């Protein structure tokens, strides 16, 4: 596996591959890799001849400095996993490489509307940071395909809209959420959970499943959401939100809409857990 940190090295290798007729699939990550990330690499192999992974903890998408400081960084272990998975190149830039002028004067990309609701309302500026860094990475890697996990459903929709609006010639592939046997979505933030909290954590997915069933059974969305919130708050969770939206564009559903998505976020100890569930009624 080739490991590069400079833009020039990255671009030169990409140029060499493309001149040889290779296609490129890209998996952007913030590191601390788990089986969910590896599933993205597995999917990427289905779409291209060369696989590029980036590891970059993006300061622009953190509105809490302590969260940025404490975010787990495990580059050596991550590299070993990627080598064993046959990744062709790992890009490991620093903030100084990605934002040489500093964040205060950095040109940014923002997807209007969808970036300001749900997680965007709870974490102001988060999706501006996501859209900006993903666009910068796309410009550097120039992939044919890019793979993202569906656990961050809102993020995936932000990226899809950005690619569409900016006319980027990149196929965005959303990959299924990888879960533990108990249903907890795999996430780097699960490492913040205590053993007791890990026992409780699957309740988030279980509550979403019950919420979906309640809506299928004809219970009004507002009443079903209130029930789900109460269930969560009677455990160790503090619920941030449950939202039931149209699955295609995250707009407010009507009674005629059949394809829906539950978006959920809740605090458990030091970890803010997010998850989603797409379902039909």
Residues 166 and 194 placed together within one structural domain of the fold: no
> Do 259 and 247 contact (CB within 8 A), yes or no?
yes
Count of Cβ atoms closer than 10 Å to residue 169 Cβ:
9
pLDDT > 70: what percent of the chain? 100
- Those residues whose C-beta lies under 8 Å from the C-beta of residue 120, and which sit 6 or more positions away, are 114, 126, 127, 154
Domain membership flag for residue 16: yes
Residues 80 and 108 occupy one common structural domain: yes
| CATH number where 103 lies | 3.40.50.620
**Is residue 280, in this structure, part of any structural domain at all?**
no
Return the CATH number at 215: 3.30.1300.10
Are residues 197 and 161 part of one domain?
Answer: no
pTM of the model: 0.94
pLDDT of 149-202, one tens digit each? 999 999 999 999 999 999 999 999 999 999 999 999 999 999 999 999 999 999
Quote the pLDDT of residue 114.
94
**Summary mean pLDDT of the chain:** 97
Asked whether residue 30 falls in the same domain as residue 106, the answer is yes
Contacts of 227 (CB under 8 A, 6+ apart): 211, 214, 219
The pLDDT of 57-76, averaged and rounded, is 94
Cα–Cα distance list, 31 to 53, 76, 212 (Å): 10, 10, 32
Residue 73 forms part of a structural domain? yes
d(CA 197, CA 187): 14
Instruction: Name residues whose C-beta falls within 8 Å of residue 104's C-beta, 6 or more positions apart in sequence.
Output: none
- Indicate the pLDDT class of residue 141, thresholds 50, 70 and 90: very high
Nearest to 281 by CA among 207, 220, 204: 220
Contact 65, 57 (CB under 8 A): no
d(CA 11, CA 53): 14
As annotated, the active-site residues are 37
Of the residues 175, 197, 228, the one at which a domain ends: 175
pLDDT at 54: 98
Q: Which of 175, 202, 233 is the last residue of a domain?
A: 175
Q: How many angstroms from the chain centroid is the CA of residue 51?
A: 19
Mean pLDDT over residues 126-145, rounded? 98
What residues make up the domain containing 234?
188-274
Side by side, the strands of the sheet bearing 271-280 are 238-246, 259-268, 271-280
Q: Of 130, 153, 175, which one is at a domain's C-terminal end?
A: 175
């Amino acid at each position: 596996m080739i490991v590069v940190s400079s833009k020039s090295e990255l671009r030169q290798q990409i140029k060499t591959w493309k001149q040889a007729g290779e296609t490129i699939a890209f998996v952007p990550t913030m590191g601390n890799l788990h089986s969910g990330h590896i599933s993205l690499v597995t999917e990427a192999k289905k779409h291209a001849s060369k696989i590029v992974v980036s590891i970059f903890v993006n300061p622009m998408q953190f509105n809490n400095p302590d969260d940025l400081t404490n975010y787990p960084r495990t580059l050596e272990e991550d590299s070993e996993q990627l080598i064993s998975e046959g990744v062709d190149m790992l890009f490991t830039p620093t903030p100084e490489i990605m934002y040489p002028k500093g964040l205060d004067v950095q040109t940014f990309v923002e997807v209007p509307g969808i970036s300001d609701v749900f997680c965007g309302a709870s974490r102001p500026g988060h999706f501006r940071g996501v859209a900006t860094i993903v666009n910068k990475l796309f410009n550097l890697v120039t992939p044919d395909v890019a793979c993202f996990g569906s656990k961050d459903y809102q993020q995936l929709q932000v990226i899809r809209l950005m690619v569409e609006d900016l006319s980027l010639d990149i196929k965005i592939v959303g990959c299924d959420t990888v879960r533990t046997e108990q249903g907890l979505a795999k996430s780097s933030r699960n490492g913040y959970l205590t053993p007791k909290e890990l026992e409780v954590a699957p309740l988030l997915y279980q509550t979403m499943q019950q919420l979906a069933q309640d809506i299928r059974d004809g219970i009004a969305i507002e009443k079903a959401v209130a029930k789900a919130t109460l269930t969560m708050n009677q455990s160790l969770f503090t619920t941030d939100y449950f939202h039931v939206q149209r699955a295609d564009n995250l707009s407010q559903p009507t009674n005629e809409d059949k394809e829906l998505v539950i978006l959920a976020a809740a605090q458990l100890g030091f970890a803010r857990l997010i998850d989603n569930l797409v379902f039909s009624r």
